[in-house]
Amino acid sequence: MTEKPAGTWSLKGKKALITGGTRGIGAAVAEEFLSLGADVFIVARSEPDVNSRVDEWTAKGWQARGMAGDVGEARVRETVITRVGKYWGKLDILVNNAGTNVRKKTPAYTDEEYDLILKTNLTSAFDMSRRAYPLLKSAGGGSIVNVASVAGLTGLGTGSPYAMSKAAMIQLTRALAAEWGADEIRVNAVAPWYIRTPLAEGVLRRPEYLASVLARTPMGRIGEPEEVAAAVAFLCMSAASYITGVCLPVDGGFLSSGFTPP
């Protein structure tokens, strides 16, 4: 029996860039990567939050860096990629996690709210990927994971701009996987259902809303950020070296459940 290559289930020595890396899923992904031996660079809007996270992780002996900035802005994306290139000269992993939402009925959205959601969720993922391409290619086998949502796969009532941004992220994943496969850059996505994050806590603290979510979740509970982080980490490992263009639901069975009769 052939032995598995050393490090197949590890991220040791990998260089990873994570957007929205101070809270929720982004922070969990950063901690998972660091615990698996990766060097991590995070970017998020709050400078105190970035500094606090970096200090926390470096105190554990992990290799963490970061900067404050809104990746919805082109100048911030340019600065992030320039700094990563200066620090490492390559990039093994890009996780496009930054996201936001405004929950409204479609006629109630302002132009500003629509623009905010699309530039934060979708434009940032497209442009970060495009700008990171030379660094990923020079790594000789880079990996991108886009944090999408089950809202991009089925109707949830989360707001049409959010849903369309996540559906577009999933299609971007497929398109880049096909385009960049020859460069050994793998591109995948994860699609979480309700996860215990700051973005979801507003609606989940309403008892009737939470009960409705749980009733539609076969596993009968809300997901944890660490459970999404584990899926992201796997997709970035050499153990997943022949997986690209995939959208992996992390949803407690939500998409598989259909109708459950009373």
Q: What is the pLDDT of residue 163?
A: 97
Pick from 193, 124, 196, 201: which is nearest to 165 by CA? Answer: 124
Q: What is the pLDDT of residue 215?
A: 94
- Owner of token pair 């020859």: 182
Q: Is the confidence at residue 233, as pLDDT, over 90? A: yes
Q: Whole-model pTM?
A: 0.95
CA distance 78 to 71: 9
Q: What is the pLDDT of residue 201?
A: 86
Q: Is the confidence at residue 198, as pLDDT, over 60? A: yes
Q: Which of 73-87, 170-184, 196-210, 217-231 has the lowest mean pLDDT?
A: 196-210
Domains, the chain, in order of start with CATH, read 15-196+225-243 (3.40.50.720)
Q: Is the confidence at residue 61, as pLDDT, over 70? A: yes
Share of the chain above pLDDT 70, in %: 96
Place 141 in a pLDDT band, splitting at 50, 70 and 90. Answer: confident
Q: What is the pLDDT of residue 261?
A: 63
Provide CB contacts within 8 A for 237, sequence distance 6+.
8, 9, 10, 11
Q: How far is the CA of 193 from the CAs of 46, 152, 197, 213, 261, in angstroms?
A: 26, 10, 11, 9, 21
CB 44 within 8 A of CB 17: no
162 a catalytic residue: yes
CB 239 within 8 A of CB 181: no
Q: Is the confidence at residue 5, as pLDDT, over 80? A: no
CA distance 29 to 226: 7
Pick from 81, 87, 95: which is nearest to 65 by CA? Answer: 87
CB 223 within 8 A of CB 28: no
Average pLDDT over residues 32-36: 98
Q: What is the pLDDT of residue 1?
A: 40
Q: What is the pLDDT of residue 258?
A: 75
Share of the chain above pLDDT 90, in %: 91
Place 200 in a pLDDT band, splitting at 50, 70 and 90. Answer: confident
Q: Is 31 exposed, middle or buried (CB count within 10 Å of its CB: 0-12, 13-18, 19+)?
A: buried
CA distance 250 to 247: 10
Average pLDDT over residues 126-139: 97
Q: What is the pLDDT of residue 125?
A: 98
Place 2 in a pLDDT band, splitting at 50, 70 and 90. Answer: very low
Length of the chain measured in residues = 262
**Secondary structure of the chain: what % helix, strand, coil (to 5)?**
50, 15, 35
Average pLDDT over residues 64-81: 98
Average pLDDT over residues 169-181: 98
Active-site choice (109, 114, 133, 162): 162
CB 121 within 8 A of CB 162: yes
Q: What is the pLDDT of residue 262?
A: 63
